[in-house]
Structure 1
Amino acid sequence: MAELAIENLTKRFGAVVAVDAVSIHVADGEFVTLLGPSGCGKSTTLAAVAGLDRPDGGRIRVGGTVYFDGRSGAFLPPEARNCGLVFQSYALWPHMTVFDNVVFPLTLRKVPAAERKRRVAEVLALVEMEAYADRYPHQLSGGQQQRVALARTLVYRPEILLLDEPLSNLDAKLRDRARTWLAELRTRLGLTTIYVTHDQIEALSLSDRIVVMNAGRIAQIGTPQEIYERPADPFVADFIGTTNFLPGRVAEAAGEDALIELGDGQRVRVRASPPRGPGTRVILAYRPEQIRIAAEGAAPDGAGSVVTARVVSRAYVGGRWQVALDLGGGPLRLETARPPAGDRLRLWLPAEGGILFQGSTDVSLV
């Protein structure tokens, strides 16, 4: 295992800057996910580490080995980098058995036969595929093929593991099971890993840290909890989980206490430092799980504000209702066990839960 250091990495495709001065440090044994929408630069960053793309600038180092240095011109070819790479497409040889697919990297490296057999048995047991050694890829499910592709990568003991959306070809239920299995495996391996995905659930459940990327740049780096609970900007808040954005302005501000006036005149008190003083246009963000329905005449526990929203639509999604509301001119989403009665709903917004972003009512999101 080894640490990975990416410094001011830049990659252009013609006039398009795909990766713009990206710097990431991955500690020895850490699992870091590059997360973002299509075209944000996450796969290009991974390809640069693997040596599949030559960057235009910056530096990549793994342990004591420099993979790329834009200043000196150093560029280590892919075959000289001890990286394990698993693609979105598993790329298994269809005419080879599971054993033959997995042993192939060791054969190329001229590892002795007895050692090859021992290592293949070891990794197939690790990915729980030892009973399928004599089968061909077409005889395996998508999840089983994914495990074989991972075993083929692990068998030559790479310094770092690079995973490029390895679960994206699986259906929803199989993907959920594979995610659980991969989480258990990463705990057992403790291998320095870069994982690329656009799936927020994968990122939140698997990562030690998440790197959220947008338009070739890093929007935020942090633990899953930090990214979810304290997003750096509206883009991160919208991309990670579901977020309600309510346009308004600062009516009053004192230290960590702010009173926000919504578009319809209703006011919400939050404990969050406003970007600026009274009159500043802001966006107030709440996660759906933070909002509660306020019973008529009852005062909710804790500090917060009670507001009234207009019910736009309601949909039953199995065990719960998704309710679309309009609050102060801003759309709001809420989940509840029972459908709301009538076309108005009283809501309690906690003072501690709101996040303030400076900006107009026109927020550019994903």
Structure 2
Amino acid sequence: MADLLIEGLVKRFGDVRAVDNVSIHVADGEFVTLLGPSGCGKSTTLAAVAGLDRPDEGRIIVGGKTYFDGARGTYLPPEARGCGLVFQSYALWPHMTVFDNVVFPLTLRKVNAAERKRRVAEVLALVEMERFADRYPHMLSGGQQQRVALARTLVYQPAILLLDEPLSNLDAKLRDRARVWLAELRTRLGLTTIYVTHDQIEALSLSDRIVVMNGGRIAQLGTPQDIYERPADPFVADFIGTTNFLPAKVAEPGVGTALLELGNGQRIEVAAERAQTQGARVTIAFRPEQMRVATAGEVTNGEGSVVDARVLTRSYVGGRWQVGLDLGGGPLRLETETPPAGDAVRLWLPRHGGIVFRESGHVAA
């Protein structure tokens, strides 16, 4: 195993900086996910580590071994790096059995026959595919093919593991099962891993840390809980989970608190660690699970605020309802076990938990 250091990585395609000064340190045995929308630079970063794309600037060092150094002109080809790469498409040889697919990297490396057989048996048992050694890829499900592709990578004992959206070709239920299995496997292996995905659930459930990317840059790097509960800007808040954004202005600044006025004139009190400026335009972000329908007779108090909202839509999604609301010009989504009756609802918003962003997009509280 080895740690991974990426420093000042830049990759250009013409005038576009697909990767723009990215720096990440992945500790030995750590599982780090690169998360973001299509075109954010996550797969290009992974390809640079694997040696499939040559960056323009920066450094990549794995376990003290320099893979790339733009300043010194160092560039190791993929075959000299010792990375394990699992592709989105699995890339299994259709004319080879499971055993032959998995043993192929060892054959290329001229490992002796006895050792080849031992290692293949070991990794097939690890991914629970030993019973399928004589089958061909077309005889396997998508999830089984994914396991074979992973076994083929693990069999030559790579320094680090690179996973490029390995679950994206699976259907929803199979993806859920594969995610649980992969989480158990990563605990057993303890292998330094870079995982690329656009799926927030995969990132939150599998990662030690998440790197959220946007426009080729790192928008935020932190633990799953940090990213979800303390997003650095509206992009991160919107991309991770579901977030309701309400435009507001500061009506009364205070110490540790602020009174915000919504677009329809209603006011809510929120916790604010930093000083606010009266009249400043801000955006307050709430997760759907932080809000609820106010109980009969409930009023604004030190724990939260009660406001009036208009019901726009109701959707039953199995065990709960998703309710679309309008509150001062900002659309909201509320999740509740019982849908509100009528076209109006009294909504409770917590004093703590919401995040206030300044007009610049940075956290204001």
Give the structure 1 partner of residue 177 of structure 2.
177
Give the structure 2 partner of residue 335 of structure 1.
335
Q: Which amino acid aligns with 1:241?
A: G
Give the structure 1 partner of residue 27 of structure 2.
27
Alpha-carbon contact 1:325-1:332 (below 8 Å) kept = yes
Change (3 A) 1:247 1:272: same
Q: Which amino acid aligns with 1:164?
A: D
5 Å matches for 1:260-275? 260-273=260-273
Give the structure 1 partner of residue 158 of structure 2.
158
Change (3 A) 1:337 1:300: farther
Alpha-carbon contact 1:162-1:193 (below 8 Å) kept = yes
Q: How many angstroms apart in 2 are the aligned matches of 1:276 and 1:76?
A: 52
Give the structure 2 partner of residue 101 of structure 1.
101
Give the structure 2 partner of residue 305 of structure 1.
305
Give the structure 2 partner of residue 15 of structure 1.
15
Give the structure 1 partner of residue 251 of structure 2.
251
Alpha-carbon contact 2:313-2:323 (below 8 Å) kept = yes
5 Å matches for 1:1-366? 1-273=1-273, 276-299=276-299, 303-359=303-359
Q: How many angstroms apart in 2 are the aligned matches of 1:300 and 1:289?
A: 19
Alpha-carbon contact 2:32-2:208 (below 8 Å) kept = yes
Alpha-carbon contact 2:258-2:276 (below 8 Å) kept = no
Q: After TM superposition, give the deviation of residue 254 of structure 1 in Å.
A: 1.7
Q: Which amino acid aligns with 2:220?
A: Q
Q: After TM superposition, give the deviation of residue 353 of structure 1 in Å.
A: 1.4
Deviations 1:123-170 (A, max 9, x none): 000000000000000000000000000000000000100000000000
Deviations 1:286-328 (A, max 9, x none): 0000001102213589611011100011111111111000011
Q: After TM superposition, give the deviation of residue 273 of structure 1 in Å.
A: 3.4
Alpha-carbon contact 2:255-2:275 (below 8 Å) kept = no
Q: How many angstroms apart in 2 are the aligned matches of 1:67 and 1:326?
A: 53
Alpha-carbon contact 2:306-2:347 (below 8 Å) kept = yes
DSSP-derived class of the 2:269 partner: strand
Q: After TM superposition, give the deviation of residue 338 of structure 1 in Å.
A: 1.1
DSSP-derived class of the 2:245 partner: strand
DSSP-derived class of the 1:124 partner: helix
Q: Which amino acid aligns with 1:135?
A: R
Q: How many angstroms apart in 2 are the aligned matches of 1:184 and 1:15?
A: 42
Q: Which amino acid aligns with 1:303?
A: E
Q: Which amino acid aligns with 1:111?
A: V
Q: How many angstroms apart in 2 are the aligned matches of 1:204 and 1:318?
A: 23
Q: Which amino acid aligns with 1:246?
A: L
Alpha-carbon contact 1:275-1:357 (below 8 Å) kept = no
DSSP-derived class of the 1:96 partner: coil
DSSP-derived class of the 1:118 partner: helix
Q: After TM superposition, give the deviation of residue 250 of structure 1 in Å.
A: 0.7
Percent identity of equivalent pairs:
80
Q: How many angstroms apart in 1 are the aligned matches of 2:83 and 2:39?
A: 24
Q: How many angstroms apart in 2 are the aligned matches of 1:318 and 1:302?
A: 34
Show structure 1 runs of 5+ residues with no match: none
Q: How many angstroms apart in 2 are the aligned matches of 1:205 and 1:300?
A: 36
Alpha-carbon contact 1:268-1:305 (below 8 Å) kept = yes
Alpha-carbon contact 1:253-1:274 (below 8 Å) kept = no
Deviations 1:18-44 (A, max 9, x none): 000000000000000000000000000
DSSP-derived class of the 1:271 partner: strand
DSSP-derived class of the 2:272 partner: coil
DSSP-derived class of the 2:49 partner: helix
Alpha-carbon contact 1:294-1:300 (below 8 Å) kept = no
Alpha-carbon contact 1:274-1:356 (below 8 Å) kept = no
Q: How many angstroms apart in 2 are the aligned matches of 1:177 and 1:192?
A: 22
Alpha-carbon contact 1:275-1:358 (below 8 Å) kept = no
Change (3 A) 1:107 1:286: same
Q: How many angstroms apart in 2 are the aligned matches of 1:19 and 1:255?
A: 41
How many aligned positions are there?
362
Q: How many angstroms apart in 1 are the aligned matches of 2:266 and 2:353?
A: 17
Alpha-carbon contact 1:302-1:350 (below 8 Å) kept = no
Q: Which amino acid aligns with 1:167?
A: L
